[in-house]
Amino acid sequence: MSLDVHEIRKDFKPLDQMINKKPLIYFDNACMTLKPNQVIDAMNEYYYNFPGCHGRTFHRFGKLTTEKYQESRGIIADFLGAEKSNEIIFVRNTTEGINLVARSLKFEGNDVVVTLNTEHNSNLLPWQHLKHTRKIEHRIVELNPDLTFNMDNFKKAMDKNVRLVSMGHCSNLSGICIPAEDIIELAHKYGALVMLDGAQSAAHHEIDVKELDVDFFVVSFHKLLGPSGIGVLYGKENLLNKMPPYLLGGETVTDTTYESLTLAPLPDKFEAGLQNYAGAMGAAAAAEYLQNITFKDIHEHITSLNERITEKILSLSDVSIIGPKEPSKRSGILNIVVKDMKALEVAHILNESNNIMVRAGVHCVHSWFNANKVPHSLRSSFYLYNTSDEIDIFFENLKNIIKFFK
């Protein structure tokens, strides 16, 4: 079965627009995906029909909010393969989820955190901070020159002092996914915990945290058809129970005195204050939308788009691809450097001339760009509503821009 992209596109209103009599082409999905009507409807249902507080009241709005909020948690637990819904903690995004673990997991001076040399700033800066404040050791595993995973380098980084391995499941720089099962198995042999940054993987890979045996998994729903400002941290129940919250306030306690507090059980102890209830319901609607489409079909579709554009890009002598040339290894991401041209200017021309939206810059991976002396790159990223016709239009415009300025 393949995706019926024509039918899918009907669910995404932004794609109906015409600017200067030309359609919009959206190739910035690695940053944020578009939202289907079903997600907007789920959020509007909350705001229109029962805009109350969760867990604090007994009136109609409060009861319905509590019911829908908890129902959303259960849907997302099922979406990620979690055994229990209380293992799902609502956060604003992947960044907050990683910071929650960094602040709440007990680290001591001789502990080691292992990451990759292509980590997003969200999975780099929290460990830099702990290195300076708690004197932990931060080890960075170098990937192969084509940015594929180097198991030998990972093995060299592991020893009994490693407390946590925290890695991007799929890279927002190259699109490459790491061999998570092998990494988790080896890390657990050393007694280390593993956290996967699933911001780029959950949109086109079926995730089963229980089968993976991963200890923590974080994801932002704005990257998989959901609203912005909502994400989840999955954590194994026994680990979350031992971790103190790093934010305190309403909902995180069951009782207080002027001198003491009694923490609430999971998941409430990590969800301080009023939450993004509409966002949680929108995230659940996004999860249900994706569950009605097989991830196999999504992955095959975006890979086929990448194959189409890669074949064309490789015909251009002045363009190099970040990562391997084989599109099957890069999922739905094509990140390129155009010789003697500024990526920001190319992106601007594509947008202004033909409504083609791509991302230019360093993609929150400043560290890799600085280390490799690459100024900026031009990243296009594809998703289930993109078409082969859009690929062709993008390439012809890119080729003409390069030709004009050369």
Catalytic residues: 364
Contact call for residues 127 and 166 (beta carbons, < 8 A):
yes
Contact call for residues 175 and 299 (beta carbons, < 8 A):
no
Contact call for residues 263 and 252 (beta carbons, < 8 A):
yes
Distance from C-alpha of 197 to C-alpha of 187, rounded to nearest angstrom? 16
Distance from C-alpha of 333 to C-alpha of 322, rounded to nearest angstrom? 10
Distance from C-alpha of 331 to C-alpha of 339, rounded to nearest angstrom? 24
Length of the chain: 406
Type of residue at 309: I
Closest CA to 90 of 231, 198, 263, 283: 231
Instruction: Measure Cα distances from 314 to 12, 99, 310, 334, 378 in Å.
Output: 32, 39, 6, 12, 15
Distance from C-alpha of 164 to C-alpha of 187, rounded to nearest angstrom? 8
What crossing angle do the helices spanning 60-80 and 37-49 adopt, rounded to 10°? 150
Distance from C-alpha of 54 to C-alpha of 262, rounded to nearest angstrom? 19
Q: Which residues pair with 319 in a beta bridge?
A: 338
With H, G, I as helix, E, B as strand and everything else as coil, classify residue 194. Answer: strand
* CB atoms inside a 10 Å sphere around CB 252: 17
Closest CA to 11 of 352, 385, 325: 385
With H, G, I as helix, E, B as strand and everything else as coil, classify residue 238. Answer: helix
Side-chain half-sphere exposure of 64, counting CA atoms within 13 A: 12
Ramachandran quadrant class, 393 (left: phi over 0; alpha: psi -120 to 50; beta: rest): alpha
Q: Which residues pair with 19 in a beta bridge?
A: 22
- 220's tokens: 């932002």
Question: Quick one: how far is CA 186 from the chain centroid?
Answer: 24
